[in-house]
């Protein structure tokens, strides 16, 4: 997804919130804002918004000397959702369709996103998880269920700490043996890394790999070779969160986008809402529909 | 008032809305956004936000070749409030305190501001004017009434087209003989110019002068010499709108700010709300309190 002009004020707001989240030093706040303004001024708008967030957060880590400024926020989110896990697991088991309940819970968990609002409260998180089955849900559910039934090698691209505890419930429904979970290669915002996966016991349930990148999304050129190979070889991709949607949703010039990507996320902004034609706040289950023509119909 | 870091996302949003308001050409939208980003990146943040808006709107007029892109919007606002004038005048006359009613109506008229939201509707404007006496009002009313009683040479700094029709009711209460109204020197956003004052018959009621500037506020260095002289000589200044507040409110290093400035405006953003300690949406009547020390107490 390209960066729309509407994304620009939002990227600057997010940069300011991030700077204030990671340090109280007003000189750093101002420096980061000036640098973000210059970076966006020269941006190729065909790049996706997480490209900017990656630059901003790298710089914030450099300026603060803190390699992981969201460490304690991530640990708190992991603890919070782990504490809710038994109740959430029971909700899934009791549901008329446990797979659907787990999908909706995993999407509801995507509320735990400090990129969009740095002042997310525990109360908001708890309410989102408890209301998971009542939030508006729109998606290609039949297609997703069918794709799941056929898949043998599923790559599950995680998004945030805390949220990965809800992913656990979905992976248990899918069957962990055929799933590999991928997390970010380095700390960025509150996105989940290997440390978070270990923290919530996911490494004991499922194979977890790093993507090698510090982008808050999946910029394939920025990921390491072993991740890219897994990405190419998987027969089903499940991608959580707007960052993964923004970086992997189909674009005519995107050679790396493939069929069979299902995006699971909360719709958090009007630009993405317009792209998927759903209201802000919706739970979205959206299949990628590459728009580029099939070059060789014989192989389709 | 300096530009706060929170103002930056808002300035970019306003620039985009303005670009889209004045032209449908996406190349101009993108160009204006890139130029605004570069201008803000290098801005001295001691400058006020209208400094940026002045640059953006000059550039939009240059790029579109239209010296007054808001012309028809201004004419429509003038017509709309003129149509309501008899009813509003009757409300003022019937009020227990007609001066207070006129002050509140003049502040309510400040809703007609296309800088903040380009998609202001007639319905919103009508409701704001009809509810003028019921909106939350906070102000230094006693001080204002006292200052008015003593003043002989009042300079009234207007803000927007349409809104100037509500100013007319206040000027009638004050007594037009001791009032001079100042409008912008050139078209910028929907700010009132001499053409608007003529359009609504203000020139027949009161002396109206241009300030010589195309800033959406009163940047004294940018105003012409005759306006600056009137500004210095007036014994009471009434300044309408956030733009005038942002450019004229006291700053320690501002040599031009004087006692006796009363700002009348709707509080439209969190930054200004914080400065005047009033909620967004309030009607504000705020006296300037210069913070710089009196250099020669003997002359005070």
Taking each helix axis as running N to C, give the angle between helix B122-130 and helix B71-94, from 0 to 180 degrees, rounded to the nearest 10. 20
- Which pLDDT band holds residue A295 (cuts at 50, 70, 90)? very low
Domain count, chain A: 2
Q: Given B9, B29, B38, which is nearest A41 (Cβ)?
A: B38
Rounded to the nearest angstrom, the minimum Cα separation between B268 and chain A is 18
pTM metric for this prediction? 0.88
A143 shares its domain with A263: yes
Q: Is B20's pLDDT higher than 60?
A: yes
The per-residue pLDDT for B259 is 57
C-alpha distance from B51 to closest chain A C-alpha (Å): 17
Between B260 and B109, residue with greater pLDDT? B109
**B45 interfaces chain A, CB cutoff of 8 Å:** yes
* DSSP state for residue B95 in the 8-state scheme: S
Domain-terminating residue out of A64, A85, A103: A64
Minimum Cα–Cα distance from A15: chain B residue: B9
Are residues A105 and A35 both part of a single domain?
Answer: no
Q: Report residue A290's pLDDT band, with 50, 70 and 90 as the boundaries.
A: very low
The pair of three-digit structure tokens given for residue A17, joined into one six-digit string: 């919130």
Tokens of A83: 């504490």
Looking at the structure, tell me whether residues A214 and A113 fall in a common domain.
Answer: yes
- The proportion of chain B whose per-residue pLDDT surpasses 70, expressed as a percent, equals 93
Q: What is the mean pLDDT of residues B148-153?
A: 94
Residue A6 with chain B: CB contacts under 8 Å: 16
Q: What is the mean pLDDT of residues B208-234?
A: 96
**Residue B78 counted as domain residue:** yes
Residue B292: is its pLDDT beyond 50? Answer: no
Question: How close B63 comes to chain A (CA, Å)?
Answer: 18
Q: How far is CA B22 from CA A247, B16, B40, B71, in A?
A: 32, 10, 21, 10
Beta carbons of A38 and B41 less than 8 Å apart:
yes
Which two tokens mark A133? 């089955």
d(CA A215, CA A211): 10
Question: Taking the CA of residue B290 as centre, how many other CA atoms within 13 Å lie in the half-sphere pointing to its CB?
Answer: 14
3-class DSSP assignment, residue B240: strand
Contacts of B24 in chain A (CB under 8 A): none
Residue B295 belongs to some domain of the structure: no
Instruction: Answer whether residue B296 is part of any domain.
Output: no
Judgement on whether residues B150 and B261 belong to the same structural domain of the protein: yes
B289 pLDDT more than 80: no
> Å from A9 to nearest chain B CA?
4
The string of pLDDT tens digits covering residues B184-206 is 999 999 999 999 999 999 999 99
How many whole angstroms separate alpha carbon B131 and alpha carbon B94?
Answer: 15
Look at residues B185, B233, B6, B3 and name the one whose alpha carbon lies nearest to residue A20.
Answer: B6
- When pLDDT is averaged across residues B232-261 and rounded to a whole number, the result is 79
Each residue's pLDDT tens digit, A71-101: 999 999 999 999 999 999 999 999 999 999 9
Q: In the predicted model, is pLDDT for residue A16 greater than 80?
A: yes
Q: Is residue A273 part of a domain?
A: yes
Residue B295 has pLDDT above 60, yes or no: no
**CATH code: domain of residue B283:** 3.40.50.10880
* One domain for residues B59 and B100: no
Question: Quick one: pLDDT band at residue A292, thresholds 50, 70, 90?
Answer: very low
Phi, psi of A16 (to 5 degrees): -65, -45
Sign of CA dihedral B35, B41, B42, B45: positive
The verdict on a CB contact (< 8 Å) between A38 and B34 is no
What is the complex's ipTM, to 2 decimals? Answer: 0.87
Contact B6 A16 (CB under 8 A): yes
* DSSP class of B202: G
Give B34's contacts in chain A (Cβ within 8 Å). Answer: 41-42
Residue A59 phi/psi, 5° resolution?
-65, -40
pLDDT band of residue B120 (cuts 50, 70, 90) is confident
Strand intervals (E) in B48-200: 137-139, 154-157, 179-183
* pLDDT score of B209 more than 70: yes
The range of the structural domain enclosing residue B138 comes to 71-287
Nearest CA to CA, how far is B121 from chain A (Å)? Answer: 21
Q: Is residue A48 part of a domain?
A: yes
Does the residue A297 lie in any domain?
A: no
- Please indicate, yes or no, whether residues B81 and B52 belong to a single structural domain of this protein: no
Lowest mean pLDDT among A36-40, B3-7, B259-263: B259-263
Question: Contacts for A135-138 with beta carbons within 8 Å, 24 or more apart?
Answer: A135/A104, A135/A108, A135/A281, A135/A282, A135/A283, A136/A279, A136/A281, A136/A282, A136/A283, A137/A104, A137/A107, A137/A282, A137/A283, A137/A285, A138/A278, A138/A282, A138/A283, A138/A284, A138/A285
What is the per-residue pLDDT across A194-215, written as a single tens digit (0 to 9) for each? 999 999 999 999 999 999 999 9
B41 touches chain A (CB under 8 A): yes
Query: Does residue A295 fall inside a structural domain?
Result: no
Q: Are the Cβ atoms of B12 and A12 closer than 8 angstroms?
A: yes
In this prediction, residue A259 has a pLDDT band, given cuts at 50, 70 and 90, of low
Same domain, B110 and B84: yes
Do B146 and B250 sit in the same domain of this protein?
A: yes
Q: Average pLDDT for residues A128-134, to the nearest whole number?
A: 89
Domain final residue pick, B31, B47, B64: B64
Least confident range from A237-246, B210-219, B243-252: namely B243-252
B16 reaches A (C-beta below 8 A): yes
Residues 6+ positions from B57 with CB-CB distance below 8 Å: B18, B188, B189, B214, B216
Strand pairing of B154-157 and B137-139?
unpaired
In tens, the pLDDT along A204-256 reads: 999 999 999 999 999 999 999 999 999 999 999 999 999 999 999 864 444 55
CB burial string A201-215: b at 16+ within 10 A, e below: ebeeebebbbbbbbb
Judge contact between B281 and B266, C-beta under 8 A: yes
Q: In this complex, do A38 and B33 lie within 8 Å of one another by their Cβ atoms?
A: no
| B237 membership: H or E segment, kind and range | strand B236-240
**Please, which residues have CB within 8 angstroms of residue B176's CB and are 6 or more apart in sequence?**
B205, B206
Q: Which of A64, A89, A112 is the last residue of a domain?
A: A64
Q: Are strands A154-157 and A236-240 parallel, antiparallel or unpaired?
A: parallel
In whole angstroms, what is the distance from residue A283 CA to residue A265 CA?
6
Q: Is the pLDDT of residue A293 over 80?
A: no
Pair A26, A134 in one domain = no
Average pLDDT, chain B: 91
Q: Which two tokens stand for residue B296?
A: 């020669």
A292 lies in a domain? no
B25-64: pLDDT as tens digits:
999 999 999 999 999 999 999 999 999 999 999 999 999 9
A-B CB pairs within 8 A amount to: 45
Q: Which residues pair with B155 in a beta bridge?
A: B180, B237
Asked if residue A12 and residue A82 are part of one domain, the reply reads: no
Query: B110 and B235: one domain?
Result: yes
Task: Note whether A31 and A80 are same-domain residues.
Answer: no
């Amino acid at each position: 997804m390209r960066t729309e002009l509407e994304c620009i004020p939002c990227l600057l707001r997010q940069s300011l919130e991030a700077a204030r989240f990671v340090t109280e030093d007003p000189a750093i706040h101002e420096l980061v804002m000036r640098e973000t303004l210059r970076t966006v001024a020269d941006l190729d708008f065909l790049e996706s918004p997480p490209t900017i967030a990656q630059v901003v957060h790298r710089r914030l880590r450099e300026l603060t000397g803190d390699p992981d400024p969201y460490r304690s926020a991530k640990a708190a989110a992991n603890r919070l959702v782990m504490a809710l896990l038994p109740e959430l697991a029971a909700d899934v088991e009791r549901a008329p369709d446990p797979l659907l309940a787990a999908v909706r819970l995993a999407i509801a968990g995507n509320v735990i996103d400090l990129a969009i609002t740095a002042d997310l409260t525990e109360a908001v998180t708890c309410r989102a998880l408890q209301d998971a089955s009542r939030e508006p849900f729109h998606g290609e559910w039949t297609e997703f269920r069918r794709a799941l039934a056929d898949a043998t090698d599923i790559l599950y691209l995680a998004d945030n700490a805390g949220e990965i505890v809800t992913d656990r419930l979905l992976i248990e429904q899918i069957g962990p043996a055929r799933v590999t979970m991928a997390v970010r290669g380095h700390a960025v915002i509150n996105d989940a890394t290997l440390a978070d996966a270990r923290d919530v016991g996911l490494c004991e349930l499922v194979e977890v790999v790093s993507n090698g990148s510090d982008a808050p999304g999946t910029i394939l050129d920025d990921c390491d070779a072993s991740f890219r190979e897994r990405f190419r070889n998987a027969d089903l991709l499940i991608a959580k969160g707007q960052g993964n949607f923004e970086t992997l949703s189909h674009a005519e010039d995107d050679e790396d986008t493939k069929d069979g990507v299902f995006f699971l996320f909360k719709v958090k902004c009007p630009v993405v809402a317009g792209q998927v034609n759903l209201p802000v706040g919706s739970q979205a289950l959206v299949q990628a529909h590459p728009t580029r023509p099939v070059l060789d119909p014989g192989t389709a």
